[in-house]
């Protein structure tokens, strides 16, 4: 069985295979780490499960989005650890040593893009490719003090990537340097399709209600002041057309159903020894009826329509990235599940809308990184990145 290599348990110890990159280009000299759900020619695609790795075979071609970065001169370092079947958000895969969060070593990295986040936060890589179905970029970015964008759904091809829930899956990446972040964005995203300037920031009180306690509220207040300084006028509030818990129920049902459909053949063929949490989520997924899922999909459609009816195209939503700093590694399973439920409820709004959301490493709480997020309309990804860069630089 493949294990990890390096001091942060970020990279998988696959036998090395040559992955050529262009000698020149916009990313020349930058080091690239890739989550082990994307095909890289010469490597297996394990998806965080040893049996899947053993049965996957060696990829003959590289995922097109990754190939774009290699053709721009990025130097491939290796494939990084992911949570099992990419179906978790904490960052601890039962089959591998836990990746190390270099910014808070007693805390988790977050997942499922755990290895890529650890590699970038620890300075081993400049660019860490991950994915975000319901927070797998945004949570590790907040936990590890990184920039991390959930991209507009469908804007970047997921060809050559192991799916989880195809109607929510998006490609994303981590970086420490905003200039590096935007170089990758220019290659993968091109020009924004949302033409209005995002100049009217609003808060969402329902999501701020998920902050853990007074320390989190104080840290978030400090970040709000820094974000607000980049806009004219007072930051107002926008009410969600639906309770976050009820909206997350719809998200969870759709995601779980699609995850079961994605992995059904693999999981049904024999015992796969799934780790705790992942096994229970897939057992739940298997129990869902078509009627339940169609009702959830109808709820998603209504939410999108209701939100579009009240949304101004110049509006940008400002929210906490996560309810607190990363959970402690010593947390009980019950404590981790409690954190996960709050985190996923907050994350699900962007996923239901299919809109981009960027986590900005602007604060700290309990001595650990704590991010704030900007959520904008579909096709405003580059504008969110540019705003994040200005906020970080204080200009």
Alpha helix locations (H) across the chain? 50-56, 64-71, 114-121, 138-144, 178-189, 205-208, 214-228, 244-269, 278-287, 290-310, 333-353, 381-393
Q: Which of these is catalytic: 21, 75, 88, 112?
A: 112
pLDDT score at 310: 87
- Give the pLDDT confidence score for residue 1 in this predicted structure: 67
Q: Which of 113, 136, 343, 380 is catalytic?
A: 136
35 given a catalytic annotation: yes
Residue 307's contacts (CB-CB under 8 Å, 6 or more residues apart) are: 240, 241, 353
> CB neighbours (10 Å) of residue 191?
8
Domains annotated on the chain, with CATH: 1-244+302-395 (3.90.1300.10)
CA 122 to each of CA 24, 90, 99, 102, 277: distance values in angstroms, whole numbers, following the listed order: 25, 18, 11, 5, 27
The position carrying tokens 């994350």 is 347
Q: Known catalytic residue: 269?
A: no
Who contacts 340 (Cβ-Cβ below 8 Å, separation ≥6)? 88, 89, 90
Q: Please identify every stretch of the chain with a pLDDT value under 50, giving residue numbers as ranges.
A: none
Q: How confident is the model at residue 74, as a pLDDT?
A: 98
């Amino acid at each position: 069985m493949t294990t990890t290599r390096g001091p942060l348990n970020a990279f998988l110890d696959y036998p090395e295979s040559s992955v050529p990159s262009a000698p020149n280009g916009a990313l020349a000299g930058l080091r690239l780490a890739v989550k082990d759900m994307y095909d890289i020619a010469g490597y297996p695609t394990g998806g965080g499960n040893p049996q899947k790795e053993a049965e996957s075979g060696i990829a003959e071609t590289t995922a097109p989005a990754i190939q774009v970065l290699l053709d721009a001169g990025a130097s491939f370092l290796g494939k990084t650890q992911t949570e099992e079947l990419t179906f978790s958000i904490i960052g601890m895969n039962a089959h591998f040593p836990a990746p190390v969060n270099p910014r808070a070593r007693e805390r988790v990295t977050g997942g499922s893009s755990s290895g890529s986040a650890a590699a970038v936060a620890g300075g081993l890589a400049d660019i860490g490719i991950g994915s975000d179905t319901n927070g797998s970029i945004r949570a590790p970015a907040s936990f590890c003090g990184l920039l991390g964008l959930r991209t507009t759904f469908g804007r970047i091809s997921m060809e050559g990537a192991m799916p989880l829930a195809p109607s929510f899956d998006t490609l994303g990446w981590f970086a420490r340097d905003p200039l590096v972040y935007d170089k990758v964005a220019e290659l993968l995203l091109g020009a924004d399709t949302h033409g209005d300037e995002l100049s009217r920031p609003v808060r969402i009180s329902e999501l701020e209600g998920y902050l853990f306690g007074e320390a989190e509220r104080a840290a978030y207040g400090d970040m709000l002041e820094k974000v607000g300084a980049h806009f004219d006028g007072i930051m107002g509030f926008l009410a969600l057309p639906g309770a976050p818990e009820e909206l997350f129920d719809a998200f969870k049902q759709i995601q779980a159903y699609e995850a079961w459909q994605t992995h059904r053949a693999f999981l049904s063929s024999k015992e796969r020894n799934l780790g705790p949490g992942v096994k229970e989520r897939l057992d739940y997924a298997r129990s869902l009826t078509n009627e339940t899922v169609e009702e959830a999909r109808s709820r998603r459609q209504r939410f999108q329509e209701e939100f579009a009816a009240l949304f101004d195209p110049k509006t940008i939503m400002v929210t906490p990235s996560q309810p607190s700093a990363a959970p402690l590694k010593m947390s009980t399973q019950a404590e981790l599940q409690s954190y996960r439920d709050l985190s996923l409820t907050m994350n699900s709004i962007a996923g239901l809308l299919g809109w981009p959301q960027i986590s900005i490493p602007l604060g700290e709480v309990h001595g650990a990184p704590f991010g704030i997020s900007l959520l904008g309309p579909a096709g405003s990804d580059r504008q969110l990145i540019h705003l994040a860069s200005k906020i970080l630089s204080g200009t």
